[in-house]
């Protein structure tokens, strides 16, 4: 389960509802954004595109490190940081091209 977001340019973005949810880094939610109009959803996605490395590291150190310690896994803190940055960088690249505009008909959470 997760957020499936399509953009007007045809690009697709998926963010899962687990510890690796980019929106949770800034204490936001796709569910809350669902009640917004298109302009609000675009602004929400822009907030995600502008998450800083510092915010990512703080979230991972606080939340993910504890979760990794509680379960047996081969995943590392560094891998999570890289995953968050990859998601953020995808959105940031769209924003820099002026293409961070959601397709309202294909917003699914």
What is the per-residue pLDDT for 69? 74
Contact assessment for residue 28 and residue 21, using Cβ atoms and an 8 Å cutoff: no
Upper half-sphere CA count for residue 83 (Cβ side, 13 Å): 19
What is the per-residue pLDDT for 25? 95
Domain boundaries, the chain: 2-106
What is the per-residue pLDDT for 65? 76
What is the per-residue pLDDT for 42? 96
What is the per-residue pLDDT for 77? 84
Give the Cβ contact number of residue 88 at 10 Å: 20
What is the per-residue pLDDT for 8? 97
The dihedral sign for the CA sequence 16, 50, 42, 104: negative
Per-residue pLDDT of the chain (109 residues; tens, 9 = 90+): 789 999 999 999 999 888 889 999 999 999 999 999 999 999 999 999 999 999 999 999 888 877 777 777 777 888 889 999 999 999 999 999 999 999 999 999 8
């Amino acid at each position: 389960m997760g957020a499936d977001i399509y953009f007007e340019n045809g690009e697709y973005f998926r963010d899962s509802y687990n510890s690796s949810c980019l929106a949770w880094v800034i204490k936001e939610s796709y569910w809350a954004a669902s009640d917004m109009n298109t302009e609000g959803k675009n602004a929400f996605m822009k907030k995600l595109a502008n998450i800083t490395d510092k915010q990512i590291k703080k979230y991972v150190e606080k939340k993910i490190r504890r979760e990794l310690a509680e379960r047996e896994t081969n995943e590392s803190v560094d891998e999570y940081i890289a995953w968050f940055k990859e998601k953020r960088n995808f959105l940031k690249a769209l924003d820099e091209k002026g293409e961070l505009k959601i397709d309202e008909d294909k917003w699914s959470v």
